[in-house]
Amino acid sequence: MATITGFIEKIKFRNEANGYTVLSVTDQMDGEEVIMVGNLAYATEGDMIQATGIMSEHPVYGEQLQIERYEIKVPQDELSMERYLGSGAIKGIGAALAARIVRHFKADTFRIMEEEPERLSEVKGISEKMAMDIAGQVEEKKDMRQAMMFLQSYGITMNLAARIYQEYGPSLYGVIKENPYRLADDIPGVGFKMADEIAERVGIFTDSDYRIKAGILYILLQASANGHTYLPQEELLTQASELLKVDSQVMEKHLMDMQIDRKLVVKASSGSQLVYSSQYYYLELNTARMLHDLNIRGDIPETEIKANLEKIQKEEAIFLDPLQERAIYEAVNSGLLVITGGPGTGKTTTINAIIRYFEMESMEIFLAAPTGRAAKRMTEATGYEARTIHRMLELVPAGIPGSDSSDIHGAGMGKRGTAGMHFDRNEENPLDADVIIIDEMSMVDISLMHSLLRAVNIGTRLILVGDVDQLPSVGPGNVLRDIIDSGSFNVVKLTHIFRQAAQSDIIVNAHKIHAGEPVDLAKRSRDFLFIRRDNPEAVISASITLLQQKLPGYVHAQPFDIQVMTPMRKGVLGVERLNQALQKHLNPPDKSKKEKEAGGTIYRVGDKVMQIKNNYQMEWEVCNQYGIPVDKGAGVFNGDVGVIREMNEYAELLTVEFDEGKRVEYSFKQLEELELAYAITIHKSQGSEYPAVIIPMYNGPRMLMTRNLIYTAVTRARSCVCLVGLPDAFRSMASNCAEQTRYSGLKARIKEIYDQAESLT
C-alpha cells in the first residue's frame, strides 16, 4: 500500500454516472506527477488530496495509484493556500486574487474564510456579496469533506459515500445513525444486506424495529425478483426469520404497523393471509380496474363483418378457419380481446387479417411487443411497423422535467431502479391509436402491463396475443394467464395446426410435448434433430461443431445468430460453463482484441453479451455509416443481446451494439449488468426467434427440467432444433408437467372489480 499527498493538477477523465475519475496529482514530497484512479465524484482541480492505495502498472498508461481510500485535506501553509485558492476550486477567485487574499490574511486565511467571511471584503476586488458567496463555497466543501470521512469510517465505499451525500446532504448523519435501512429504499444499488452491514457497524440491535421492517420488505423484494407479487404470510415470516435470526412471532406485530404505514397490504384468501408490498398490490388492483374499463362491447352486425372478411380473404389469398374468423369478429366488437394459441395455429395470419380489416376502416393501428427482437419479428411477419412497448410509451431519460418514476413501476415504487425515468404516454397523454395489438404477451409483467394500460384510452381496442403455455414473464406477475383464467374477458384460443405448419417437425413435436405425447427422437427429420452424446464434454464438443461447421450453411445464418439454450445456470452444462467453452472457440484471445476481466468473466471485443437487468437510465444512439447519430433514446432491458464493438481502457468504457444498431457505453464498473450470451437460459430466450437452436440434454434438477421449459425452447427455432445429449433426459423433461408456483393475484383483483361492478347494477 502506498500513501501520497499532493495537489490535484488536472481531472483527466470523469464518468459523471458513477464518479470514476482519472486525475493527475503533484506529489508534495518530490514534486513528481502521479496518476490516480478511483471513485472521487467530488474531488476538484486544486484540492489537496491524501490518497492510499495500490500502485499498479497499466499496460497502456503506465504506473498509477488505484485509490482505496482518500481524504481531501485543508492546505496548511501559505503557499499551499494560495495555490489552492488560485486553482479555480473556488469560483470567482483567480491566481491574482488568491495571492492578494493570502498576502492579507497570511496563515489565518482559512480560519477567516470559515469564521469571519465578511472580512474578505477587506481585500481589494472583493465585495461583501462576493465575500459571502466565497464563504458559502468553502463551507460546502468543508461539509462534504467531513461527510466523506464520516461515511468512510463505517466502511462505506467512496462511490457509495458520494451517492449518500448527494441524496441526503447534511441530514445523512441522522440517517446513518438512526435508520441506515433507508438507504435500501432511497438509493439504487443499495440492498438490505449492504444496509444491514452498515447498521451492524453503527451498533443498531438485531431486533430493531427498523431492521425487522426492512428485512420483511427485502424478502418481498426478493420474491418479486422470482416472479411473485406477494407471499403467503407463513412463508414470508419463515424466510424473514432465517434472514434476520429473529423469532417469527416477534415479527407478526410489525405487519400491522407496516399496513398502517401503507408499506404492506394483507389480503385474506382461502383461510390464509397473503402479504403484498403496497407497490405490487396497487399495481394489480389498478391493472384490474383498467382492464375492466376497457372491456366494452360493440354492436357491429356479424353480416357486415363477414362481408369484409370475405373481401380480405379474396384479396390476400388466405383462408381463415372458424376460430380465426371468431377472433376477428371479437376484435371488431370488443374493447379488449385475448388471442392465444401454440405454434402453427395461425396467430400471425389472424393478426394480419385484423390489421387489414381495421385498415379498411381507416383506423390508426399500433403494433408492439415486449422486446426489440419480438418487435422485429412482428414487423417482418406483418409488414407493419412494430415497436417495443417501452418505445411506444415513449420512455424518457432521467433529468427531463416532469419525470415520475411511478409511471414505470406504479404507486409506491420509489427510486429503486428507475432514477427518474418515466413514460411520456399515460392517462394525461394517451396513445393516439384506434387499435393496439400487443404480441408475445406471456412476457409482459405486471409493471409493464400497468404502464401500458395507463396510456390506452377507453374506446381504443386492445388486442393481446400470446402463447399462454410459454414460460411466464421474467418480471413479477402472471399477467396473460391471470387475464385468461379470470373468465372475465373475450378469449379466442386457436387450436388448428395448418397444413404447412404440420409439415414442420418443430411445430408437430412442440404440440406433442405440450400434450404429453411421445416424440420420436430416432426419426430422420430436416428440422428436428437429436444427436446422442453420453457425457458433458461430448455434448459441448458436438455443440461447437454444430455452431462452427454444420448449422451456419444449413440454415443460412452466422454462428452468432444460432443460439445455445440450456435449462440451468450452474452445472456441467449450465450457462456459465458453456459460455467459457463457446467463447474460447467462437471468439478466442487475440492480440488485436482488447479484453477486460470482471467478476471472473473475460469480456473481449467481439463477444456476444446480454443485458441481465432493466436499466432505464442507460442511453443509446444509432449512427449512420459516417458515424453521425441519427437516433437516440434511453433504456436497455433484461434479455437484450448485443456484441462488444469497442473497448477504451483509459476511460474504462466498452461499447455494445444491440439490435437495430443501438450502441451503448458501459463503464467497467457496470459490467455486472452484462454476461456472455453464447449460451443463455431458456427463460432468457422468451420472445426471441433464432434460425436454429442447440439445446444440451443432460440430467439436472427436476424443478428446472420441466415440460413448459423444453416446449418454450423448441418453439424458439425457426428452421432447425438440435437436441444434443441423452434421450432419457429429454423424455424426463417432456414428461415433467410440474410448474414452479408463482404467487400472482391479478386474477383475484379482476374478480373483485367485476363483483363490485355487479353489486352496483
| pLDDT tens-digit readout, 96-126 | 888 998 899 888 888 888 788 889 888 888 8
Last residue of a domain, one of 442, 474, 496: 496
Domain holding 211, by residue range, is: 178-275
pLDDT range class, residue 329, cuts 50, 70, 90: very high
62 domain-assigned: yes
Quick one: 492 and 508 in the same domain? Answer: no
pLDDT digits (tens, 9 = 90+) for 123-154: 888 888 888 888 888 777 777 767 777 777 77
What is the model's pLDDT at position 205? 82
**Residue from 658, 717, 620, 678 nearest 373 by CA:** 658
Confirm or deny that 345 is annotated as ligand binding: yes
Which residue has cell 472457440? Answer: 585
Last residue of a domain, one of 135, 151, 167: 151
Q: What number is the average pLDDT over the span 595-608?
A: 93
**Residue from 441, 275, 289, 293 nearest 750 by CA:** 289
Q: What number is the average pLDDT over the span 76-94?
A: 76
What is the model's pLDDT at position 703? 82
% of the chain exceeding 70 in pLDDT: 94
pLDDT digits (tens, 9 = 90+) for 444-476: 999 999 999 999 999 999 999 999 988 888 889
What amino acid is encoded at 174 in this protein?
Answer: G
Please give the order of strands across the beta sheet that includes 490-494: 386-388, 365-369, 435-438, 461-466, 336-341, 490-494
Quick one: 355 and 337 in the same domain? Answer: yes
pLDDT range class, residue 18, cuts 50, 70, 90: low
**In the predicted model, is pLDDT for residue 415 greater than 50?**
no
pLDDT digits (tens, 9 = 90+) for 522-577: 998 999 999 999 999 999 999 999 999 999 999 999 999 999 999 999 999 999 99
- 259, containing H or E segment: helix 248-260
**HSE-up of residue 588 (Cα within 13 Å, Cβ side):** 1
Beta-bridge partners for 492: 339
Contact 707, 713 (CB under 8 A): no
Axis crossing angle, helix 536-545 with helix 575-586, rounded to the nearest 10: 40
742 domain-assigned: no
Higher pLDDT, 291 or 649: 291
Contact 446, 746 (CB under 8 A): yes
Contact 28, 76 (CB under 8 A): no
pLDDT digits (tens, 9 = 90+) for 470-513: 888 888 999 999 999 999 999 999 998 886 777 899 999 999 99
Residue 333 grid cell: 366488437
Q: Which of 17-26, 410-419, 581-590, 592-601 has the lowest mean pLDDT?
A: 410-419
Contact 552, 559 (CB under 8 A): yes
What is the model's pLDDT at position 270? 85
Quick one: 483 and 630 in the same domain? Answer: no
- 529, containing H or E segment: strand 528-532
737 domain-assigned: no
Distance of CA 655 to the CA centre of its chain: 18
Residue 33 grid cell: 506527477
Higher pLDDT, 299 or 687: 299
pLDDT digits (tens, 9 = 90+) for 622-636: 988 878 888 888 888
652 domain-assigned: yes
Region for residue 177 given its phi and psi (left: phi exceeds 0; alpha: psi -120 to 50; beta: otherwise): alpha
**In the predicted model, is pLDDT for residue 425 greater than 80?**
yes
410 domain-assigned: no
Beta-bridge partners for 36: 23, 65
What is the model's pLDDT at position 79? 77
What is the model's pLDDT at position 499? 67
Quick one: 182 and 238 in the same domain? Answer: yes
Contact 308, 334 (CB under 8 A): no
Quick one: 700 and 633 in the same domain? Answer: yes
What is the model's pLDDT at position 411? 37
106 domain-assigned: yes
What is the model's pLDDT at position 674? 95
Dist. CA 668–CA 20, nearest whole Å: 10
Residue 97 grid cell: 486574487
Beta-bridge partners for 72: 49
Quick one: 302 and 268 in the same domain? Answer: no
Tell me the DSSP string of 104-157.
HHGGGHHHHHHH-GGGGGGSTT--HHHHHHHHHHHHHHHHHHHHHHHHHTTT--
Residue 728 DSSP SS3:
helix
Looking at residue 401, what DSSP letter applies? T
- Model-level pTM? 0.78
What amino acid is encoded at 120 in this protein?
Answer: L
What is the model's pLDDT at position 650? 80
What is the model's pLDDT at position 467? 93
**In the predicted model, is pLDDT for residue 419 greater than 50?**
no
pLDDT range class, residue 88, cuts 50, 70, 90: low
What does the mean pLDDT of the chain come to?
Answer: 87
Beta pairing class for 563-566 and 386-388: unpaired
What is the model's pLDDT at position 395? 85
- 580, containing H or E segment: helix 575-586
What is the model's pLDDT at position 605? 96
Confirm or deny that 346 is annotated as ligand binding: yes
Confirm or deny that 314 is annotated as ligand binding: no
% of the chain exceeding 90 in pLDDT: 52
Quick one: 512 and 654 in the same domain? Answer: yes
Burial class (CB in 10 A: 0-12, 13-18, 19+), 151: buried
The CATH number of the domain where 147 resides is what?
2.40.50.140
Beta-bridge partners for 647: 654
Quick one: 677 and 628 in the same domain? Answer: yes
What is the model's pLDDT at position 414? 37
Q: What number is the average pLDDT over the span 48-72?
A: 83
Last residue of a domain, one of 480, 496, 512: 496
589 domain-assigned: yes
386 domain-assigned: yes
Q: What number is the average pLDDT over the span 228-252?
A: 90
Dist. CA 714–CA 547, nearest whole Å: 17
Dist. CA 524–CA 527, nearest whole Å: 9
Quick one: 110 and 73 in the same domain? Answer: yes
Which residues touch 86 (CB under 8 Å, ≥6 apart)?
Answer: 46, 93, 94, 95, 96, 97, 98, 99
Confirm or deny that 287 is annotated as ligand binding: no
Confirm or deny that 493 is annotated as ligand binding: no
pLDDT range class, residue 6, cuts 50, 70, 90: confident
Dist. CA 458–CA 430, nearest whole Å: 10
**In the predicted model, is pLDDT for residue 379 greater than 90?**
yes
Beta-bridge partners for 52: 3, 69
Contact 212, 254 (CB under 8 A): yes
Q: What number is the average pLDDT over the span 683-694?
A: 90
Quick one: 511 and 455 in the same domain? Answer: no
The CATH number of the domain where 199 resides is what?
1.10.10.2220
Quick one: 491 and 509 in the same domain? Answer: no
The CATH number of the domain where 305 resides is what?
3.40.50.300
Quick one: 253 and 121 in the same domain? Answer: no
Q: How many domains does the chain have?
A: 4
Contact 731, 761 (CB under 8 A): no
